[in-house]
Amino acid sequence: MRHLLLTAAAASLTAGAAFAESHTDSVKMGVLLSFTGPIESLTPAMAAGAEMAISEASGDENFMGGMAIEPVRGDATCVDAAAATAAAERMVTSDGVTAIMGADCSGVTTAVLANVAVPNGISMISPSATSPALTEAEDDGLFFRTAPSDARQGEVLAAILSEEGISSVAVTYTNNDYGKGFADAFQAAFEEAGGEVTIAAAHEDGKGDYSAEVGALASAGGDALVVLGYVDQGGAGVMQSALDTGAFDLFALGDGMIGDSLTERFGTDIDGTIGTAPGSENEGGDVFADMASEAGIDGTSVYAGESYDAAALTILAMAKAGSASASDFKGEVMGIANAPGEQILPGELSKALQIIADGGEVDYQGATGVEFVEPGEAAGSYAQFEVQDGALTVVGYR
Amino acid sequence: MDLLNALMVLMNFVVMPATAYGAQLALGALGVTLVYGILRFSNFAHGDSMAFGTMVTILFTWALQGIGVSLGPVPTALLALPLGIAGAALMLLGTDRAVYRFYRRQKANPIILVIVSMGVMFIYNGIVRLIVGPDDRRFDDGERFIFTVRDFEAWTGLEEGFGLRTSQAITILTAIVVVAALFWFLNRTRTGKSMRAFSDNEDLALLSGINPERVVAVTWIIVAALATVAGVLYGLDKSFKPFTYFQLLLPIFAAAIVGGLGSPLGAIAGGFVIAFSEVTITYAWKRVLEYALPEAVAPDGLVQLLSTDYKFAVSFMILVIVLLFRPTGLFRGKSV
- pLDDT per position as a tens digit, A218-230: 888 889 999 998 8
Q: By the CB < 8 Å criterion, does A135 face chain B?
A: no
Collapsing DSSP to helix, strand or coil, B71 comes out as strand
Cβ contact B243–A206 (<8 Å): yes
Specify whether the CB–CB gap between B292 and B87 falls below 8 A.
Answer: no
Size (chain A), residues: 398
What pairing do the DSSP bridges indicate for beta strands A26-33 and A99-102? parallel
Q: Do both A111 and A258 map to the same domain? A: no
Residue A159: domain span: 151-280+380-397
B281 Cα to chain A: minimum distance (Å): 9
For residue B307, is pLDDT > 90?
A: no
Residue in chain B lying closest to A241 (CA): B238
pLDDT digits (tens, 9 = 90+) for A319-346: 999 999 999 999 999 999 998 889 999 9
- Backbone torsions φ then ψ of A148, nearest 5 degrees: -80, 160
Smallest Cβ distance to B286: which of A213, A220, A247? A220
Cβ contact A215–B150 (<8 Å): no
For residue B301, being part of any structural domain is answered with no
For residue A21, is pLDDT > 60?
A: no
Name the domain count of chain A. Answer: 2
For residue B304, is pLDDT > 50?
A: yes
For residue A22, is pLDDT > 50?
A: no
For residue B252, is pLDDT > 90?
A: yes
Q: What is the pLDDT of residue B335?
A: 52
- Backbone torsions φ then ψ of A223, nearest 5 degrees: -75, -30
Which ranges of chain A does DSSP label H, i.e. alpha helix?
Answer: 2-24, 43-57, 81-90, 106-112, 118-120, 133-136, 150-163, 177-192, 211-220, 234-244, 260-266, 283-294, 304-321, 326-329, 333-337, 349-357
Q: Do both A213 and A286 map to the same domain? A: no
Cβ contact A246–B148 (<8 Å): yes
| Rounded Cα–Cα distance for residues A249 and A243 (Å) | 7
Smallest Cβ distance to A246: which of B163, B239, B288? B163
Q: By the CB < 8 Å criterion, does A175 face chain B?
A: yes
A265 Cα to chain B: minimum distance (Å): 10
What residues in A contact B9, CB-CB < 8 Å? 219
What residues in A contact B165, CB-CB < 8 Å? 244
Tell me how far CA of residue A398 lies from CA of A164, A165, A381, A387, B101, in angstroms: 15, 18, 6, 18, 67
For residue B41, being part of any structural domain is answered with yes
For residue B214, being part of any structural domain is answered with yes
Q: Do both A263 and A339 map to the same domain? A: no
For residue A12, is pLDDT > 80?
A: no
For residue B299, is pLDDT > 90?
A: no
What residues in B contact A221, CB-CB < 8 Å? 287
For residue A4, is pLDDT > 70?
A: no
Residue in chain B lying closest to A173 (CA): B309
Mean pLDDT taken over chain B: 89
- The domain that holds A47 is classified in CATH as 3.40.50.2300
A231 Cα to chain B: minimum distance (Å): 11
Q: What is the pLDDT of residue B145?
A: 87
- Which residues in chain B (276-335) have CB-CB distances under 8 A to chain A? 278-279, 282-288, 302, 304, 307-309, 311
For residue A6, being part of any structural domain is answered with no
For residue B33, being part of any structural domain is answered with yes
Specify whether the CB–CB gap between A137 and A143 falls below 8 A.
Answer: yes
Question: Lowest-confidence range among A26-30, A273-277, B307-311?
Answer: B307-311
Q: What is the pLDDT of residue A15?
A: 47
For residue B253, being part of any structural domain is answered with no
For residue A388, being part of any structural domain is answered with yes
For residue A10, being part of any structural domain is answered with no
Cβ contact A215–B278 (<8 Å): no
| Rounded Cα–Cα distance for residues A229 and A180 (Å) | 10
Question: Lowest-confidence range among A31-35, A365-369, B300-304?
Answer: B300-304
Q: Do both A331 and A203 map to the same domain? A: no
Percent of chain B surpassing pLDDT 70: 99
Q: Do both A220 and A369 map to the same domain? A: no
For residue B290, is pLDDT > 90?
A: no
CB pairs under 8 A between A and B: 92
B130 Cα to chain A: minimum distance (Å): 18
Q: By the CB < 8 Å criterion, does A232 face chain B?
A: yes
Specify whether the CB–CB gap between A116 and A87 falls below 8 A.
Answer: no
For residue A1, being part of any structural domain is answered with no
Mean pLDDT taken over chain A: 87
Q: What is the pLDDT of residue B336?
A: 47
Residue B112: domain span: 3-246
Cβ contact B308–A246 (<8 Å): no
For residue A13, is pLDDT > 50?
A: no
For residue A381, is pLDDT > 60?
A: yes
For residue B232, being part of any structural domain is answered with yes
Residue in chain A lying closest to B167 (CA): A244
For residue B256, being part of any structural domain is answered with no
What residues in B contact A171, CB-CB < 8 Å? none
| Rounded Cα–Cα distance for residues B77 and B192 (Å) | 28
Q: Do both A195 and A256 map to the same domain? A: yes
For residue B9, being part of any structural domain is answered with yes
For residue A308, being part of any structural domain is answered with yes
pLDDT digits (tens, 9 = 90+) for A138-192: 999 999 999 888 888 899 999 999 999 999 999 999 887 778 889 999 999 999 9
Model confidence, pTM: 0.74
Q: Do both A155 and A269 map to the same domain? A: yes
Smallest Cβ distance to B304: which of A208, A216, A245? A216
Smallest Cβ distance to A232: which of B9, B21, B136? B136
Q: What is the pLDDT of residue A7?
A: 54
Q: By the CB < 8 Å criterion, does B22 face chain A?
A: no
* Identity of the highest mean pLDDT range in A15-24, A251-260, B295-304: A251-260
Mutate to test the interface with A, among B5, B8, B13 (most CBs of A within 10 A): B13
Cβ contact B13–A204 (<8 Å): no
Q: Do both A255 and A392 map to the same domain? A: yes
Q: Do both A160 and A131 map to the same domain? A: no
Cβ contact A232–B135 (<8 Å): yes
Give the DSSP letter of residue A193.
T
Percent of chain A surpassing pLDDT 90: 46
Specify whether the CB–CB gap between A33 and A47 falls below 8 A.
Answer: yes
> Which residue type, as a one-letter code, is found at position B30?
L
Query: In whole angstroms, what separates CA A131 from the centre of its chain?
Result: 10
A216 Cα to chain B: minimum distance (Å): 5
Q: By the CB < 8 Å criterion, does A221 face chain B?
A: yes
- Which residues in chain B (101-140) have CB-CB distances under 8 A to chain A? 135-136, 138
For residue A348, being part of any structural domain is answered with yes
Q: Do both A177 and A205 map to the same domain? A: yes
Smallest Cβ distance to B284: which of A211, A215, A245? A215
Q: By the CB < 8 Å criterion, does B46 face chain A?
A: no
| Rounded Cα–Cα distance for residues A149 and A118 (Å) | 20
Question: Lowest-confidence range among A5-19, A156-170, B72-86?
Answer: A5-19
Smallest Cβ distance to A206: which of B17, B148, B241? B241
For residue A10, is pLDDT > 80?
A: no
Smallest Cβ distance to B285: which of A199, A219, A245? A219
B279 Cα to chain A: minimum distance (Å): 5
Cβ contact B288–A218 (<8 Å): no
Q: What is the pLDDT of residue B149?
A: 85
The more confident residue out of A206 and A67 is A67
Q: What is the pLDDT of residue A257?
A: 86
Q: What is the pLDDT of residue A9?
A: 52
The more confident residue out of A391 and A118 is A118
What pairing do the DSSP bridges indicate for beta strands A382-388 and A391-397? antiparallel
pLDDT digits (tens, 9 = 90+) for A269-300: 888 999 988 777 777 888 998 999 888 888 77
- Backbone torsions φ then ψ of A251, nearest 5 degrees: -120, 150
| Rounded Cα–Cα distance for residues B100 and B168 (Å) | 36
For residue B195, is pLDDT > 50?
A: yes
Q: What is the pLDDT of residue A299?
A: 78
Q: What is the pLDDT of residue A20?
A: 42
Smallest Cβ distance to B13: which of A175, A204, A218? A218
Q: Do both A64 and A155 map to the same domain? A: no
Size (chain B), residues: 336
Q: What is the pLDDT of residue A41?
A: 76
What residues in B contact A203, CB-CB < 8 Å? 308
- The domain that holds B70 is classified in CATH as 1.10.3470
Q: What is the rounded average pLDDT of the residues A67-96?
A: 93
Cβ contact A201–B165 (<8 Å): no
Q: By the CB < 8 Å criterion, does A243 face chain B?
A: no
Cβ contact A206–B149 (<8 Å): no
Q: Do both A271 and A300 map to the same domain? A: no
For residue A350, being part of any structural domain is answered with yes
What residues in B contact A202, CB-CB < 8 Å? 307-309
Cβ contact A245–B311 (<8 Å): no
pLDDT digits (tens, 9 = 90+) for B106-144: 989 989 999 999 999 999 999 999 999 887 788 888 888
Name the domain count of chain B. Answer: 1
Neighbours of B327 (CB within 10 A): 14
Smallest Cβ distance to A219: which of B150, B284, B307? B284
- Report residue B90's pLDDT band, with 50, 70 and 90 as the boundaries: very high
For residue A204, being part of any structural domain is answered with yes
